[in-house]
Structure 1
Amino acid sequence: MASIPKIISVDDHTVEPPHVWRDRLPAKFLDVGPRIVRAPVKEMTFVGGRFAPVMGATGDDGPMADWWIYEDLHRPLTRLDTAVGCSRDEVRLKGITYDEMRPGSYSVPERLADMDRNHVQSALCFPTFPRFCGQTFTEAKDRELGLLGVRAYNDWMVEEWCGPDARGRLIPLALVPLWDADLAAAEVRRNAARGVRAVCFSEIPPHLGLPSVHTDAWDPFLRACAETGTVVAMHIGSSSRMPSTSADAPPAVGSTITFANCCFSLTDWLMSGVFDRFPGLRVMYAEGQIGWIPYILERADVVWAENRGWGGVAGKVLRPPSELFAAHVYGCFFDDAFGLRNLDAIGVGNVLYETDYPHSDSTWPRSREVAEEQMGHLAPDVVERIVRGNAIELLGLTEEGLWAGAGSA
């Protein structure tokens, strides 16, 4: 059985505490900026890949939840946001309050304790209320407030969540204002100057009404990432559209095929010419798993070799897609025995491990045991690269696997 070194998880999540924007926005925005209100849940559905909650009025009957209110948005905290510590049968689509979640979801000391319990040394955490690439602020009406909201989140992430109390064990992941590539580039550079080496982005930007990666619209942002060594991190669902088959498909359908958006997104990037224009650029797919990657690369290489003349990529994509993948792309997984059995077809250097704390799919507190069960056939040096070595290189961590930016000890 493989001996598992301390894990560096590249996909965990933070549930932002209520004070993040209240403490950082100008006073004139406090009544319209993100804030928490406790109110009943009138209705909540998640069908066909669409989440649709309805907040009840004061005095209405119904289960209580803590709701994020921002402009016209009403978004409750749910059990799916933070399910660790609950039995699988208790994990249902329902609203919850901060009192009903494991404190490690939002509190640094408790998070570190839960990481210790799970054999995790360091963790990169995606947002909850802003959504996986900051769509909440991109969709806002007031652009000035949206930009302030993005910057406030990043300041909280660097100064508090990943601040001195985290002792370098929490790794910052920034947001950018997706509605303006120049502003996004400036935010990448602002955070890179204080040691941040990862930024959220959408897996399929056109689903958000934004340009695709086949245009040059993102060039200022991508150039900033390439020049600062900032990895572009794309989480499943960061297009605000979870894959589904029909409008009435139950969530189990989407949960089974969550990797599908990653397939579409990776093909976009490989056929875009972006990696030839920005040789230093690197991207990662969080929670997409890895078992699907070999066939996509095989098929993409065939299309590039045989059909590029009419396929719109001649003169733009200069190398086989599999070579581009090897040099620029990282797949992330938490439970993928099939992918690990086919590691040679993916690339040892292109795989990262994750625990997905505190979501319902999380392997916490058994991430070490899951790794032992699935990696027992691998050599120790390969295991080390997957569970921590590749992450250290990609995220610019210390040899000990810690973040050495501002605020770390």
Structure 2
Amino acid sequence: MSAMETTTALPKIISVDDHTVEPPDVWQSRLPKKYLDTGPRTVRAPLKEISFLGGRFKPVMGAPGDDGPLGDWWLYEGLQRPLTRLDTAVGYSRDEIKLEVITYEQMRPGSYDVPARLADMDVNHVQSAVCFPTFPRFCGQTFTEAKDHELGLLCVQAYNDWMVEEWCGPQAQGRLIPLTLIPLWDAELAAAEVRRNAARGVRAVAFSEIPPHLGLPSVHSDDWDPFLAACDETGTVVAMHIGSSSRMPSTSADAPPAVGSTITFANCCFSMVDWLMSGKFERFPNLKVMYAEGQIGWIPYILERADVVWEENRGWGGVADKVHRPPSELFTEHVYGCFFDDAFGLKNLDAIGVGNVLYETDYPHSDSTWPKSKEVGEAQMGHLDADVVERIVRGNAIDLLGLTPDGLWGGPR
């Protein structure tokens, strides 16, 4: 069969990067009573001021009765974090999307409600989806930065229970694929949480693209080995979203958000080189990692450069004793790039590898291709053979995440 022009439609999409906005009761209904006043909870309050410059998000909550737009805010220890339009922008014109606080009533219900999410997936030609968190941030940094790690661990476990039992529970009909969190501050506890969730069918866990930005050890150390061993043993994929180091790429403190938005792939690029030069893929041969929302067009050059450095400089470069194969070979066996809008990457697919690419829709964020993901995919993949399109849009995700042949999560119903 020739390219997409001879097919009737894009195959049903399995999106490996969507997002959920947690309902207000996720932690209040699961934490012990003694933690309800310090654990995550929501209030409605006015906004005093808000900025997002140099990759830093700074909201300030007003006091009751103050002037300013009302929004719903998450409170946790001393943290005050509002819901914003950027958390859930689908349904709005791109020109109408701005940095503003909102309430749950002002967002699309599919952001937090399972039946509404499935309906929006139907509209968008999406069969199944993996969802990253919002309030915990992309790999649970919110709980890692908190003072009380006993409470933090309970919050991580409560989120994971909600993710598996409710968000991906019976109402989801196998169409929502669980992605869980770990207590990043303790690799042994992280390993235990990976195994706890793997026992109930979870095959993906969120992690930081650059842990040292969070004050944590790098992947070049041995500190993460208990966690990585658990992922290797259980077939749990390490999923790293752009921004999961709490530091979006930027160039200066006064650079407008458009600068960072243009170079969002940069942390993924740096992270992938870390992993390829770490020796971890040879120590943990079943380990798989994926980069959500990093796009793929940058990958061919980095692989070429990494191979040259490994071939010519591995002696003085400090990797000869732990990286015994060309980085491009390790990439092929262990790394997956994820994209939703990357025509250049698709034109250079041979230099990346058909088996190393996953598709995403980024619902409900401002970059999302919802509700036109099918049309976007058909336009960008029209030059590819139908079997290649099938692998990118769903086949690779089925294999990587251990889904049923029909593309559904086979865990608890």
Counterpart residue identity of residue 166, structure 2: E
The aligned counterpart of 2:260 is 254
Shift of 1:403: 0.2
- Deviations for 1:312-344, whole angstroms, at most 9, x for unmatched residues? 101111110000000000000000000000000
Whole-angstrom CA distance in 1 between matches of 2:278 and 2:187: 17
Residue 402 (structure 1) aligned with residue 375 (structure 2): no
Residue 322 (structure 1) aligned with residue 314 (structure 2): no
Q: How does 1:143-158 map to 2 (within 5 A)?
A: 143-158=149-164
Which of 84, 96, 99 is equivalent to 1:90? Answer: 96
Shift of 1:300: 0.1
Which of 362, 378, 385 is equivalent to 2:368? Answer: 362
The aligned counterpart of 1:228 is 234
Counterpart residue identity of residue 401, structure 2: L
Q: How does 1:228-377 map to 2 (within 5 A)?
A: 228-377=234-383
Whole-angstrom CA distance in 2 between matches of 1:88 and 1:318: 47
Which of 24, 29, 39 is equivalent to 2:30? Answer: 24
Whole-angstrom CA distance in 2 between matches of 1:85 and 1:97: 15
Q: How does 1:95-106 map to 2 (within 5 A)?
A: 95-106=101-112
Residue 183 (structure 1) aligned with residue 189 (structure 2): yes
The aligned counterpart of 2:13 is 7
Whole-angstrom CA distance in 2 between matches of 1:318 and 1:68: 47
- Deviations for 1:131-176, whole angstroms, at most 9, x for unmatched residues? 0000000001001100000000000000000000000000000000
- Secondary structure at 1:156 match in 2: helix
Which of 61, 66, 78 is equivalent to 1:60? Answer: 66
Whole-angstrom CA distance in 1 between matches of 2:140 and 2:366: 21
Shift of 1:26: 0.3
The aligned counterpart of 2:40 is 34
Shift of 1:75: 0.2
Whole-angstrom CA distance in 1 between matches of 2:248 and 2:324: 32
Structure 1: runs of 5+ lacking an equivalent? none
- Secondary structure at 2:71 match in 1: strand
Residue 112 (structure 1) aligned with residue 118 (structure 2): yes
Whole-angstrom CA distance in 2 between matches of 1:309 and 1:397: 42
Residue 209 (structure 1) aligned with residue 212 (structure 2): no
Q: How does 1:71-82 map to 2 (within 5 A)?
A: 71-82=77-88
- Deviations for 1:47-85, whole angstroms, at most 9, x for unmatched residues? 000000000001100000100000000000000000000
Whole-angstrom CA distance in 2 between matches of 1:256 and 1:236: 12
Shift of 1:397: 0.2
Structure 2: runs of 5+ lacking an equivalent? none
Counterpart residue identity of residue 400, structure 1: D
- Secondary structure at 2:57 match in 1: strand
Whole-angstrom CA distance in 2 between matches of 1:94 and 1:203: 27
Counterpart residue identity of residue 128, structure 1: T
Residue 121 (structure 1) aligned with residue 127 (structure 2): yes
Give the TM-score, by structure 2 length.
Answer: 0.98
Counterpart residue identity of residue 45, structure 1: S
Give the TM-score, by structure 1 length.
Answer: 0.99
Counterpart residue identity of residue 231, structure 1: V
Shift of 1:112: 0.1
Whole-angstrom CA distance in 2 between matches of 1:317 and 1:248: 40
The alignment's C-alpha RMSD in Å is: 0.5
- Secondary structure at 2:119 match in 1: helix
Counterpart residue identity of residue 390, structure 2: E
- Secondary structure at 2:363 match in 1: coil
- Deviations for 1:340-367, whole angstroms, at most 9, x for unmatched residues? 0000000000000000000000000000
Whole-angstrom CA distance in 2 between matches of 1:374 and 1:121: 20
After TM superposition, the runs of 4+ consecutive aligned structure 1 residues lying more than 6 A away are: none
Shift of 1:90: 1.3
- Secondary structure at 1:296 match in 2: helix
- Secondary structure at 2:81 match in 1: strand
Residue 386 (structure 1) aligned with residue 392 (structure 2): yes
Whole-angstrom CA distance in 2 between matches of 1:242 and 1:161: 28
Counterpart residue identity of residue 68, structure 2: G
Shift of 1:122: 0.1
Q: Percent sequence identity over matched residues?
A: 83
Whole-angstrom CA distance in 1 between matches of 2:404 and 2:198: 16
Whole-angstrom CA distance in 1 between matches of 2:25 and 2:206: 22
- Secondary structure at 2:278 match in 1: coil
- Secondary structure at 2:397 match in 1: helix
Whole-angstrom CA distance in 2 between matches of 1:171 and 1:96: 27
The aligned counterpart of 1:45 is 51
Query: How many residue pairs were aligned?
Result: 407
Shift of 1:302: 0.1
Residue 161 (structure 1) aligned with residue 182 (structure 2): no
Shift of 1:89: 1.4
